[in-house]
Amino acid sequence: MFDVKKVREDFPILGRSVRGVPLVYLDSGATSQKPFQVLDAERHYYENSNAAVHRGAHALAEEATDAYESARETLANFVGAETSEIVFTKNATEGINLVAYAFSNATDKARHGLEVDPRFVVGPGDSIVVSEMEHHANLIPWQELCAKTGATLRWFGVSDEGRLILEPGVIDSSTKFVSVVHQSNLLGTINPVKEIMDMAHAVGALGMVDVCQSVPHMPVDVRELGADFATWSGHKMLGPTGIGILWGRNDLLNAMPPFLTGGSMIEMVNMDHSTYAPAPQRFEAGVPMVAQAVGLARACDYLTDLGMHNVFEHERELTAYTLAELAKVDGVRVIGPTDNSERGSAVSFVVEGIHPHDVGHMMDAQGVAVRVGHHCCWPTCKRFDVPATTRITTYIYNDKADIDQAIAGIKDAQAFFGTSSKVSA
């Protein structure tokens, strides 16, 4: 196990105060903080090797290209992928859209008689399957795809305990694509994605896993997911904003029409038609985010040094503590699994009689940063009949004292709004 105190020293921001009190950051599910090693790596790149990659033959261009491509290799190693299967995107949202647009672009081209891979053509009578605990990023692109093509959107429901209900028949012979979240950012649930991907493959459908909340927090080997695609964002795993990853099986990536088009993604260009580079370049139009790739690779190294098993165990322990402490507070109801198995560190809750905005505000007054709202999972909130929740998410730099501070904030809110007889310490 690692020393949290030492880890904290790497994060300059954790030393600051907010609203006159020391910051307690419990919103890493939204975005993580960045260690100085990542910031230094970006700065070092800009100060020493900055140039446009894959263009020009000068020394800096070579160094920049090398930095960018080695970052890709680091990312691939981090999740057990081949380097050519790693596409750099802006974030997970773009990764999901890239795949959804492969379907809609292929479907469009097929309508005009162009030759496309039939696995990406959808239409009336076909279905796309998601779940009721998806982030909007893994819902809206599929709603749009269905609206454009006439396909039907279906989903697995969620139980009162916050687990997926894998009813038979949701995935059937009409299903062309299945996309589900690995770890819910609202409920914390870790889903049996291998089982779901196997169900998809059994009917000849392709499948994707949204690994935004799992890759930063536990060891993930993309091969073991059993999926065809997986996507996540760099900013939730100590990396910079503006960079994400789409992992896809090589044969599929190369069979997909491009998403964004322009420079850098071509093979040959004529005035009336062009051919495209193989993946991953095919999906990286324009000058890419090189410094961010370098920073993200450094974040991978940082996490690898800590050990992803250790990261998971550290958060498991903190989650157990969070759940136990919340259970002791009258009027607090956890939305999501309350047992600490097959669950990650996102813990959502509601406080009876106090709106999450007010809970969050009272916690903020104590320096505790938590997220309030629907967490981009509005349908999931509706499923649990709550307009919003307050959510604690932890990471490598949090400890039990942070949780104690959060609990004190909740009790303060209860005392302030007069919903509890207990007075806060």
Partner 1 sequence: MSEDLYQEIILDHYKNPRGKSVFMTSLGESHQVNPTCGDEVTVHVGSGPDGTIQVSYECQGCSISQASASVMSELINGKTPEEAAPIQAAFIELMQSKGKLEPDEEVLEDGIAFAGVSKYPARIKCALISWMALADAQIRAQLTPAPNNSGTD
Ligand X SMILES: Cc1ncc(COP(=O)(O)O)c(C=O)c1O
The set of catalytic residues is: 376
In this chain, which stretch among 5-13, 125-133, 343-351, 372-380 interacts with partner 1, using CB under 8 A? 372-380
Is 35 a residue that touches partner 1 (CB under 8 A)?
no
Nearer to partner 1 by C-beta: 300 or 354? 354
Is 405 a residue that touches partner 1 (CB under 8 A)?
no
Q: Rounded CA gap, 320 and 322, in Å?
A: 6
Binding string to ligand X for residues 370 to 389, with x set by CB under 6 A, is what? ------x-------------
Among 49, 91, 191, 390, binds ligand X (CB under 6 A): 91
Is 357 a residue that touches partner 1 (CB under 8 A)?
yes
Q: Rounded CA gap, 95 and 210, in Å?
A: 9
Is 335 a residue that touches partner 1 (CB under 8 A)?
no
137 binds, among ligand X, partner 1, none (CB under 5 to 8 A by kind): ligand X
Assign 255 to helix, strand or coil.
coil
In this chain, which stretch among 135-143, 154-162, 292-300, 311-319 interacts with ligand X, using CB under 6 A? 135-143
Is 387 a residue that touches partner 1 (CB under 8 A)?
yes
Is 372 a residue that touches partner 1 (CB under 8 A)?
yes
Nearer to partner 1 by C-beta: 133 or 209? 133
User: How far is residue 402 from each of residues 29, 184, 257, measured CA to CA in Å?
Assistant: 15, 22, 47
Is 97 a residue that touches ligand X (CB under 6 A)?
no
Is 214 a residue that touches ligand X (CB under 6 A)?
no
Residue 64, C-beta contacts closer than 8 angstroms, at least 6 positions apart: 45, 49, 50, 51, 52, 53, 290
> What DSSP string describes 175-227?
EEEEEEESB-TTT-BBP-HHHHHHHHHHTT-EEEEE-TTTTTTS---GGGGT-
Is 365 a residue that touches partner 1 (CB under 8 A)?
yes
- Max distance between CA atoms of the chain, in angstroms, equals 76
Nearer to partner 1 by C-beta: 44 or 361? 361
In this chain, which stretch among 99-107, 207-215, 288-296, 393-401 interacts with ligand X, using CB under 6 A? 207-215
Is 140 a residue that touches partner 1 (CB under 8 A)?
no
Q: Which long-range contacts (CB under 8 A, 24 or more apart) does 160-166 make?
A: 161/337, 161/338, 162/133, 162/187, 162/188, 162/189, 162/335, 162/336, 162/337, 163/189, 163/337, 163/342, 164/131, 164/133, 164/189, 164/191, 164/192, 164/196, 166/192, 166/195, 166/196, 166/199
User: How many residues bind to ligand X according to rule CB under 6 A?
Assistant: 13
Q: Rounded CA gap, 376 and 134, in Å?
A: 9
Cβ neighbourhood burial of 167 (10 Å; 0-12, 13-18, 19+) = exposed
Minimum Å gap between C-beta 77 and ligand X is 22
- Alpha carbon 352 to its chain centroid, in Å, reads 30
Is 408 a residue that touches partner 1 (CB under 8 A)?
no
Is 212 a residue that touches ligand X (CB under 6 A)?
yes
Among 213, 322, 380, 398, binds ligand X (CB under 6 A): 213
Is 361 a residue that touches partner 1 (CB under 8 A)?
yes
Nearer to ligand X by C-beta: 30 or 266? 30
In this chain, which stretch among 36-44, 85-93, 249-257, 267-275 interacts with ligand X, using CB under 6 A? 85-93
Is 299 a residue that touches ligand X (CB under 6 A)?
no
Q: Which long-range contacts (CB under 8 A, 24 or more apart) does 46-53 make?
A: 46/291, 50/290, 50/291, 52/287, 53/287, 53/288, 53/290
Q: Rounded CA gap, 87 and 145, in Å?
A: 22
Residues that bind ligand X in the complex, under the rule CB under 6 A: 91-93, 135, 137-138, 181, 185, 210, 212-213, 233, 376
Tell me which residues touch partner 1 (CB under 8 A). Answer: 19-20, 355-358, 361-362, 365, 372-374, 378, 381, 387-388, 416-417
